[in-house]
């Protein structure tokens, strides 16, 4: 059997087993592996064990959970790793390349629960979409890798056409500290000729897409403290500082009304996209008004003047406040001056704007805004670098050919506004070419209520990955 026949029969196998692959994915989606909530640590581990068991069953070797808990990283979630490194050399006698398949099995919290049409951890199919937390980000997409490997093993007499390493983390949604430490200590276990990541989106339905850039980020917490304890606002209002007001004052000075970041020096380091990239972006099928109404749903779009929406999302740094806590938020009224208040603030970064530099500037600037009577703490919760991938390698060509075989169309190259912290390490520390081939859709509601995965894209993704794995070797 030559390679083409192998790939064809693996694609056929995948098609014949679609219903079972979907049922298995539903079983995985029933496990609420919310990495940020300590009460779900057991569920996170169960999801890891579920994935490991299937990797073992399909024929991967050295399947194991790697613990990531350490003194610097208490309560880490396990990595699932495996490999299969026995691909037969090509006709020229050269060894086959090694592909690193990366994904994550952890998910974001599902709240607000009442906005879900069906409960987040009871997967349900409606109108050709699979609804559940993690359906597309990233359990469903990670499962495509597992199912593609299964199809190749099953039709190849227990062999694969390329060498494969698998690393699936359980902390992507909380910054990926565990996998980053593992990569620094045991990088050889992850080294491959190319990394394949399916954790991004297609630009539009039916439009095959490779993502060639991600934003980096710093995620911070600002704590403001005033009086020793909460105070009666009548007895002390007029004399005691108010930490919530202090935070409000600070937060409004981080950005101007139009969305320009006011932290000194931030824009000096920003690397602009090339003219070729900008030209490619303006040729993408993007309608600002339909984006506003269908995806955002606000009366107007906001953001830095002088840049297109896609530039603002993909190539400009931005700053967001995620939550403010403190004082009295129950029903009714309570006259209190809170003793402390906190705000969660993150920044999205772009190449050349490093997280360490940005965090230092952010911290200094926030501290400089501290009003009288208030003590401030600024803490970094997690961070990651932004990146732009090179597309000048044979793996990108194999990916576009695989996508053409499945979708019958040319691939578009886009960036993503989101972050996958470990990808910068793949590229910068391990020097691995990386292919980000994702099958989500713009309206899949990542991190939001009613997250979904278009079932047809789940199946097409498996086929494209079969073709990619079958196509990178000789
Ligand atoms: N899969 C997303 C990232 C993504 C989404 C990239 C869409 C490109 C397009 C990932 O799971 C994610 O949500 N990452 C977090 C990372 C953070 C918590 C460190 C993010 O971007 O907020
Ligand atoms: Mn993801
Ligand atoms: Mn995510």
Q: Ligand 3 centre from 418 Cα, in Å?
A: 8
pLDDT at 285: 97
- Confirm or reject: Cβ of 420 under 6 Å from ligand 1: yes
Is the pLDDT reported for residue 96 higher than 90? yes
Q: Which residue has the higher pLDDT, 320 or 473?
A: 320
103 CA to centre of ligand 3 in angstroms: 11
Encoded tokens for 228: 């020793």
Matching CATH number, 3-208+388-471, of 3.40.50.720, 3.40.50.920, 3.40.630.10, 3.30.70.20: 3.40.630.10
pLDDT, average across residues 155-172: 98
| Ligand 1 pocket mutation, candidates 77, 102, 169, 172, criterion most atoms within 8 A of CB | 172
Angle between helix 139-155 and 41-58 (nearest 10): 20
Distance between Cα 453 and ligand 2 center (Å)? 13
Q: What is the DSSP string of 332-378?
A: S---EE-SEEEEEEEEEE-TTS-HHHHHHHHHHHHHHTPPTT-EEEE
CB of 21 sitting under 6 A from ligand 1? no
* 198 close to 208: Cβ distance less than 8 angstroms: no
Burial per residue of 297-309, b for 16 or more beta-carbon CB atoms within 10 angstroms, e otherwise = eeeeeebbeeebe
Q: Find out whether the beta carbon of 170 lies less than 6 Å from any atom of ligand 1.
A: no
317-334 residues labelled b (16+ CB within 10 A) or e (exposed):
bbbeeeebebbeeeeeee
Structure letter (DSSP) for residue 261:
B
pLDDT tens, position by position, 235-269: 999 999 999 999 999 999 999 999 999 999 999 99
Dist. CA 344–CA 362, nearest whole Å? 13
- pLDDT > 90? residue 396: yes
Closest ligand to C-alpha of residue 104 is 2
Answer whether residue 474 shows pLDDT above 90.
Answer: no
Largest CA distance in the chain: 86
pTM of the model: 0.96
Average pLDDT over residues 114-121: 98
- Reported as a pLDDT band with limits 50, 70 and 90, residue 1 is confident
Helix-strand-coil split of the chain, %, nearest 5: 35, 20, 40
Q: How many residues does the chain have?
A: 474
Per residue in 353-370, pLDDT tens?
Answer: 999 999 999 999 999 999
Centre of ligand 1 to C-alpha 427, Å, is: 17
Binning pLDDT at 50, 70 and 90, where does residue 5 land?
Answer: very high
Is there an atom of ligand 1 within 6 Å of 201 CB? yes
Three-class DSSP category at 7: helix
Tell whether the model's pLDDT for residue 344 goes beyond 90. Answer: yes
Task: Give the percent of the chain with pLDDT over 70.
Answer: 100
Ligand 3 center to residue 106 CA distance, Å? 9
Which pLDDT belongs to residue 163? 98
Please enumerate in sequence order all residues whose Cβ is within 8 A of that of 233, keeping only pairs 6 or more positions apart, or say none. 335, 336, 337
How does the average pLDDT of the chain come out, rounded? 97
| Separation CA 438–CA 450 (nearest Å) | 19
Position 121 scores a pLDDT of: 98
For residue 38, which of 190, 171, 148, 227 has the smallest C-alpha distance? 171
Q: What is the mean pLDDT of residues 409-420?
A: 98
Nearest CA to ligand 1 atom 18: 173
Contact of 212 with 415, CB cutoff 8 Å: yes
Selecting from 3.40.50.300, 3.30.70.120, 3.30.70.360, 3.40.30.10, what CATH number does the domain 216-270+317-384 have? Answer: 3.30.70.360
Q: Give domain limits for the chain.
A: 3-208+388-471, 216-270+317-384
Residues 6+ apart with CB under 8 A from 337: 226, 227, 230, 231, 232, 233, 236, 237, 240, 242
């Amino acid at each position: 059997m030559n390679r083409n026949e192998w790939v064809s029969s693996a694609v056929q196998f995948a098609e014949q087993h679609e219903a079972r692959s979907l049922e298995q994915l539903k079983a995985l989606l029933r496990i609420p592996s919310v990495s940020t909530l300590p009460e779900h640590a057991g569920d996170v581990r169960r999801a890891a064990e579920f994935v490991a068991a299937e990797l073992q069953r399909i024929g991967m070797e050295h399947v194991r959970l790697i613990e990531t808990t350490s003194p610097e990283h208490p309560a880490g979630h396990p990595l699932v790793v495996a490999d299969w490194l026995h691909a037969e050399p090509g006709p020229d006698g050269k060894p086959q390349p090694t592909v690193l398949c990366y994904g994550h099995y952890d998910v974001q919290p599902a709240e607000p629960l009442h906005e879900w049409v069906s409960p987040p951890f009871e997967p349900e199919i409606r109108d050709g979409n699979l609804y559940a937390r993690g359906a597309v980000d990233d359990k469903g997409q990670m499962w495509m890798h597992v199912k593609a490997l299964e199809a190749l093993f099953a039709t190849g007499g227990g062999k694969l056409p390329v060498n494969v390493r698998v690393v699936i983390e359980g902390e992507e949604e909380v910054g990926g500290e565990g996998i980053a430490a593992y990569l620094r200590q045991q990088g050889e276990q992850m080294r491959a000729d190319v990394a394949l990541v399916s954790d991004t989106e297609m630009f539009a339905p039916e439009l095959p897409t490779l993502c060639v850039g991600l934003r980096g980020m710093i995620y911070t917490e600002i704590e403001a403290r005033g009086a020793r304890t909460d105070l009666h606002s009548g007895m002390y209002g007029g004399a005691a500082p108010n930490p919530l007001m202090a935070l409000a004052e600070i937060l409004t000075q981080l950005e101007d009304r139009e969305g320009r970041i006011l932290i000194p020096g931030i824009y000096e380091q920003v690397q602009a996209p090339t003219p070729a990239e900008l030209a490619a972006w303006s040729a993408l099928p993007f309608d600002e008004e339909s984006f506003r109404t269908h995806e955002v749903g606000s009366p107007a779009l906001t953001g830095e003047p002088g840049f297109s929406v896609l530039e603002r999302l993909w190539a400009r740094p931005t700053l967001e406040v995620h939550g403010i806590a403190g004082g009295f938020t129950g029903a009714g009224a309570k006259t209190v001056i809170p003793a402390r208040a906190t705000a969660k603030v993150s920044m999205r970064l772009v190449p050349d704007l490093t997280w360490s530099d940005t965090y230092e500037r952010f911290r200094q600037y926030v501290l400089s805004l501290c009003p009288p009577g208030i003590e401030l703490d600024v803490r970094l919760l997690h961070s990651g670098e932004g990146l732009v991938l090179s597309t000048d390698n044979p793996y990108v060509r194999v990916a576009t050919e695989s996508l053409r075989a499945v979708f019958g169309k040319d691939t578009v190259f886009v960036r993503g506004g989101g972050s996958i912290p470990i990808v910068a390490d793949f590229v910068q520390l391990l020097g691995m070419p990386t292919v980000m081939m994702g099958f989500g859709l713009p309206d899949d509601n990542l991190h939001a209520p009613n997250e979904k995965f278009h079932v047809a894209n789940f199946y097409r993704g498996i086929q494209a990955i079969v073709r990619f794995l079958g196509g990178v070797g000789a």
